[in-house]
């Protein structure tokens, strides 16, 4: 086995190897560009040969900031598991050490379990994750619409609800909670923190359910686009609904299903007609497929008997 630096005469081999690895396991969320010689400009390119025949290559860069990064390692299928990868990385490491560099990095797809195991066996450890997002989704998140929320405690004891809000809201970083008079068997709570912080909203709802031994419903419009409710009983989530299940990011199929309303649970806890729950609490892949968020929130509040829902 011989590993040497590639020359201009190896260009066709390098391009063919690069196309082969892209065809084999390209799994990035964007298409790869046409393979061109410019890919290797300014890079360290090493070619492995067996009896004079090219069997693999590695290329990357020696960064003057103190690390070497390997962009690609490829070995032809019939020569895999025969030490070619180790030889290529060893040679790459030698060039890095000669340049005064002590650390070698590379990227590997999270879905590439075989590749990840190979790198682990060679001593690589994970120290960061590279994330991706469609720019359109990022732009939507950078300019979200209006968010507003209310909590509804199934109780006529306003004083007990107010005491619990006064105890737990400051612990979550909020203040100025407004507790309404009992209406239709529910006490409504509004606070600025509930409008802007979904996690704090749901944490307070759980604490109120625990403290008052009552059913609590957290009802909201988030980003001016998605309607959401979470029902708590004895402090635990018993039902959850989100009009656009993947609004906050992709979910496993089971989680998407779980964000559809459970009409039986809603009926048991609020007295709503199951058929009405199924009719109103629909989900979709886009807000455009549903009624306007404020209208949908109003429909949900009405069927559950929640007065004073929404904006404080």
2 pLDDT band, cuts 50/70/90, is very high
Residue 39 domain-assigned (yes or no):
yes
Write down the pLDDT at residue 267: 97
Note whether 107 and 247 are same-domain residues.
no
Note whether 165 and 299 are same-domain residues.
yes
Note whether 149 and 128 are same-domain residues.
no
41: left (phi over 0), alpha (psi -120 to 50) or beta: beta
Residue 76 domain-assigned (yes or no):
yes
Q: Which of 132, 157, 174 is the last residue of a domain?
A: 132
Region 99-105: what's the mean pLDDT? 93
Q: Rounded CA gap, 306 and 234, in Å?
A: 19
pLDDT at 142 over 60: no
Write down the pLDDT at residue 111: 81
Write down the pLDDT at residue 249: 86
Over pLDDT 70: what percentage of the chain? 97
Note whether 183 and 92 are same-domain residues.
no
Q: Determine how β-strand 2-5 pairs with β-strand 226-233.
A: unpaired
Tell me the per-residue pLDDT of 199-258, one tens digit each, with 9 for 90 and over.
999 999 999 999 999 999 999 999 999 999 999 999 999 999 999 999 988 889 899 999
Note whether 7 and 125 are same-domain residues.
yes
Q: What is the CA radius of gyration of the chain?
A: 29
Note whether 264 and 152 are same-domain residues.
yes
Query: Where residue 104 sits, what CATH number does that domain have?
Result: 3.40.630.30
Q: What's the Cα-to-Cα distance from 108 to each of 72, 132, 280, rounded to whole Å?
A: 10, 14, 45
Q: Which of 87, 111, 132 is the last residue of a domain?
A: 132
Note whether 119 and 225 are same-domain residues.
no
Tell me the per-residue pLDDT of 276-291, one tens digit each, with 9 for 90 and over.
999 999 999 999 999 9
Write down the pLDDT at residue 132: 81
pLDDT, the chain, mean: 93
Residue 311 domain-assigned (yes or no):
no
| Residues 6 or more apart in contact with residue 147 via CB below 8 angstroms | 195, 196, 220, 221, 222, 223, 224
137 pLDDT band, cuts 50/70/90, is low
Q: Which of 132, 153, 183 is the last residue of a domain?
A: 132
Sheet holding 67-75, edge to edge: 2-5, 44-50, 53-63, 67-75, 103-106
Write down the pLDDT at residue 15: 96
Write down the pLDDT at residue 243: 97
Domain count, the chain: 2
| Residues 6 or more apart in contact with residue 22 via CB below 8 angstroms | 32, 35
Q: What's the Cα-to-Cα distance from 201 to each of 10, 109, 159, 291, rounded to whole Å?
A: 61, 35, 20, 24
Domain range for residue 64? 2-132
Chain-centre distance of CA 94, in angstroms? 38
- Partners of residue 240 on adjacent β-strands: 230
Q: Which residue reads 């299940």 in tokens?
A: 245
> Would you say the C-alpha torsion 200, 202, 204, 210 has a positive or negative sign?
negative
Note whether 217 and 253 are same-domain residues.
yes
Note whether 177 and 281 are same-domain residues.
yes
Region 133-151: what's the mean pLDDT? 74
Q: Rounded CA gap, 301 and 140, in Å?
A: 27
Note whether 279 and 244 are same-domain residues.
yes
Q: Rounded CA gap, 259 and 219, in Å?
A: 14
């Amino acid at each position: 086995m011989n590993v040497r630096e590639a020359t201009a005469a190896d260009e066709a081999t390098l391009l063919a190897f690069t196309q082969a690895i892209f065809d084999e396991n390209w799994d990035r969320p964007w298409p790869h560009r046409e393979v061109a010689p410019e890919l290797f400009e300014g890079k360290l390119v090493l070619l492995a040969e067996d009896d004079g025949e090219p069997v693999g290559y590695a290329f990357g860069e020696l960064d003057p900031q103190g690390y070497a990064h390997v962009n690609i390692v490829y070995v032809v299928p019939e020569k895999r598991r025969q030490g070619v990868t180790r030889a290529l990385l060893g040679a790459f490491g030698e060039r890095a050490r000669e340049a005064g560099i002590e650390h070698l990095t590379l990227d590997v797809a999270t879905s590439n379990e075989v590749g990840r195991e190979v790198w682990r066996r060679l001593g690589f450890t994970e120290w960061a994750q590279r994330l991706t997002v469609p720019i359109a989704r990022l732009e939507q998140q950078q300019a979200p619409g209006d968010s507003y929320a209310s909590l509804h405690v199934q109780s006529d004891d306003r004083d007990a609800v107010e005491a619990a809000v006064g105890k737990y809201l400051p612990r979550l970083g909020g203040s100025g909670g407004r507790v309404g008079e009992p209406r239709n068997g529910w006490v409504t709570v509004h606070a600025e923190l509930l409008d802007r912080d979904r996690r704090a909203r749901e944490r307070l709802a759980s604490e109120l359910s625990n403290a008052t031994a009552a059913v609590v419903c957290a009802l909201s419009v988030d980003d001016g686009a998605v309607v959401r409710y979470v029902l708590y009983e004895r402090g635990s989530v018993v039902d959850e609904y989100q009009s656009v299940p993947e609004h906050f990011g992709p979910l496993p199929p089971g989680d998407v299903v779980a964000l559809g309303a459970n009409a039986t649970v809603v009926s048991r806890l609020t007295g709503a007609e199951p058929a009405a729950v199924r009719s109103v609490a629909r989900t979709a892949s886009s807000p455009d497929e549903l009624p306007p968020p404020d209208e949908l929130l109003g429909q949900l509040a009405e069927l559950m008997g929640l007065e004073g829902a929404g904006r404080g």
